[in-house]
Structure 1
Amino acid sequence: MAERPDFTVLTPYARSLGIELAEWEDDVPVMRVEFVEAVEGRPEHFHGGATGGLLETAGYAALRAELARLDRDAVLKPINITVQYLAAGKSQASFAKGRVTKLGRRSANLTVEAWQDDRSRPIATAVMNVFMAEAEG
């Protein structure tokens, strides 16, 4: 099996929110963000954009992990992301995990779920479509 991707180095946006790798679950990364001022919207609640950023980061992390498992390298470019907000994120850590639902030669489809203390009650979900360009080099 190929080496796992290094998720200690994330995008500047993900770093600005404080998103980090929480754990590996079934060879898929679970991402976490603590409730801090950078993610607060209305008092004591996550901002929707921060929740969307967590979902997007977890989706890309799941795709990168699957590509690494297959020993594939690609430049990822978003086609679209649709977020469904299901419940307000409260002032506690949030987690997200993505799943690759279809992996083609040039595109991938993903689903992502975000939750807080109860995984069976997600606060948001997302569907992502990603274009995969050949990596140069």
Structure 2
Amino acid sequence: MSDTQPSPTLAELVLQVRKTREYSRLTDAIPYARFMGIGVEHLAGEMLCRMTYTPKLIGNSFLPALHGGTLGALLECSAIFELLLQTETQRVPKVISLTVDFLRSGKAQDTFAKAFITRQGRRVANVRVEAWQDDRTRPIASANALFLLSEP
């Protein structure tokens, strides 16, 4: 017999993380977030996502610049984590639409993102996300997303 306990469901894990703010427990449970190096941190009194730089994130090696798909992944994950941690949804929100605006090249360094829930109904939520590197007032990408939420 094994003494190991079964892994918590995502809903149970989200409830635990909401209480403890141990965000790494949530991001470690999502293989895609781990692969992309995307984590959630509590910095300067707010919840931010960080995509830790690794060479596999480069799309244009001549500049070098981050691949647009990696920035899109950071923006989408940031919105999902914001919805999971700030709303009562019990499941991962489903993307209805996601529009990304690429504003400038992302350098070969860590990238931060912050999501803002602009409107939330019972079934649908609108989220705006901004990503930056050195200077938060100079975002490198932004997104507007619409998500389908699970019933509480």
Count of residue pairs brought into register by the alignment? 129
SS at match of 2:69: helix
Q: Which residue of 1 aligns with 2:39?
A: 20
Please state how far the C-alpha of 1:65 moved relative to its aligned partner. Answer: 2.0
Equivalent pair of 1:22/1:31 in contact (CA under 8 Å): yes
TM-score normalised per structure 1 = 0.85
Question: CA separation of 1:99/1:52 partners in 2, compared to 1, >3 Å: closer, same or farther?
Answer: same
Letter in 1 for 2:34: R
Measure the CA separation in 2 of the matches of 1:118 and 1:93. 12
Bigger helix share = 2
TM-score normalised per structure 2 = 0.77
Measure the CA separation in 2 of the matches of 1:128 and 1:102. 11
Question: CA separation of 1:19/1:102 partners in 2, compared to 1, >3 Å: closer, same or farther?
Answer: same
Any unmatched runs of 5+ in structure 2?
Answer: 1-17
Please state how far the C-alpha of 1:88 moved relative to its aligned partner. Answer: 0.5
Please state how far the C-alpha of 1:93 moved relative to its aligned partner. Answer: 0.9
SS at match of 1:41: strand
Q: 1:106-132 deviations in whole A, cap 9, x for unaligned?
A: 010000000000000000000010001
Q: Which residue of 2 aligns with 1:90?
A: 107
Please state how far the C-alpha of 1:5 moved relative to its aligned partner. Answer: 6.0
Equivalent pair of 2:23/2:41 in contact (CA under 8 Å): no
Of 119, 130, 137 in structure 1, the residue corresponding to residue 147 of structure 2 is 130
Identity across matched positions, percent: 36
Q: Which residue of 2 aligns with 1:63?
A: 83
RMSD: 1.8
Of 116, 126, 131 in structure 2, the residue corresponding to residue 114 of structure 1 is 131
**Bigger RCO of structures 1 and 2 (CA < 8 A, at least 6 apart):** 1
Bigger strand share = 1
Q: Which residue of 2 aligns with 1:73?
A: 89
Q: Which residue of 2 aligns with 1:53?
A: 73
**Which residues of 2 match residues 3-42 of structure 1 at below 5 A?**
3=19, 6-8=22-24, 9-10=26-27, 11-24=30-43, 26=45, 28-42=46-60
Letter in 1 for 2:83: L
